[in-house]
């Protein structure tokens, strides 16, 4: 039986789906509501990847502009609305990271150099619950699965770069990541 804390997550996904649908029809107030609901997640992920408040601000603006321009591209059968938003954010942040010279300076200091002195943006209870569920799910993975997924999603490395970084064959890294993502879906799905 799902806990009271996790039953609100599907409600959030339904609300986000409705807002995206309205945005696709040109409703500006729906974009404002989506922004209010998701800003802490979008900005937080961009900041975690880029480690720069100005760059995270820029990516956040780009993400919400892309949502306005491309809301009609969202289809529920490809994933939840929050997953779509997180994927857009991750893609924009990685694009920004790769276009900057900062990318080269990150190569040697990835794993243990995540700044801990940056205050996270205000989070709603639902955001904190979702974050806790994801963090718990990551702990369920094998160390190699977790490391490869974190390098890809939080540091923006390609699978080839992860292979070099971990000194493992590319096929092995791909297998870890695929198995890890499948396991995450199972764990998070059970948490709902």
Look up the CATH number of the domain holding residue 14. Answer: 1.10.1740.10
pLDDT digits (tens, 9 = 90+) for 61-105: 999 999 999 999 888 887 889 889 998 999 898 888 877 654 455
Provide the whole-model pTM: 0.56
- Domain of residue 176, residue span: 140-192
Residue 25 has pLDDT above 90, yes or no: yes
**How high is the pLDDT of residue 136?**
82
Residue 152: pLDDT band with limits 50, 70, 90: confident
Average pLDDT value for residue range 31-49: 91
Q: How many domains does the chain have?
A: 2
Does some domain include residue 132?
Answer: no
pLDDT band at 5 (very low <50, low <70, confident <90, very high): very low
Alpha helices in 51-80 (DSSP H): 53-70
Q: Which residue has the tokens 């199972």?
A: 186
**Looking at 35-39, 101-105, 144-148, which range is the least confident one?**
101-105
CA distance 62 to 79: 21
30: Cβ contacts below 8 Å, ≥ 6 apart: 19, 20, 22, 23
> Which of 14-23, 51-60, 124-133 is least confident?
124-133
**Average pLDDT of the residues of the chain:** 80
CATH number at residue 164: 1.10.10.10
Q: Output the pLDDT for position 123.
A: 57
């Amino acid at each position: 039986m799902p806990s009271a804390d996790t039953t609100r997550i599907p409600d959030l996904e339904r609300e986000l789906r409705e807002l995206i649908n309205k945005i696709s029809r040109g409703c500006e107030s729906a974009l404002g509501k989506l922004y209010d609901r998701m800003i802490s997640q979008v900005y937080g992920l961009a900041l975690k990847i880029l480690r720069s408040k100005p760059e995270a601000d820029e990516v956040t603006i780009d993400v919400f502009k892309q949502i306005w321009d491309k809301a009609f591209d969202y289809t529920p059968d490809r994933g939840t609305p929050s997953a779509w938003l997180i994927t857009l954010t991750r893609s924009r942040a990685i694009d920004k990271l790769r276009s900057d010279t900062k990318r080269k300076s990150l190569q040697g200091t990835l794993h243990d150099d995540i700044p801990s002195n940056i205050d996270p943006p205000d989070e709603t209870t639902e955001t904190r619950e979702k974050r806790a569920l994801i963090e718990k799910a990551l702990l369920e993975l094998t160390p190699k699965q977790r490391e490869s997924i974190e390098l890809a999603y939080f540091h923006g490395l390609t699978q080839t770069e992860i292979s070099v970084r971990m000194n493992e064959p590319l096929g092995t890294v791909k297998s870890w990541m695929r198995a890890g993502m499948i396991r995450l879906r199972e764990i998070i799905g059970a948490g709902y």
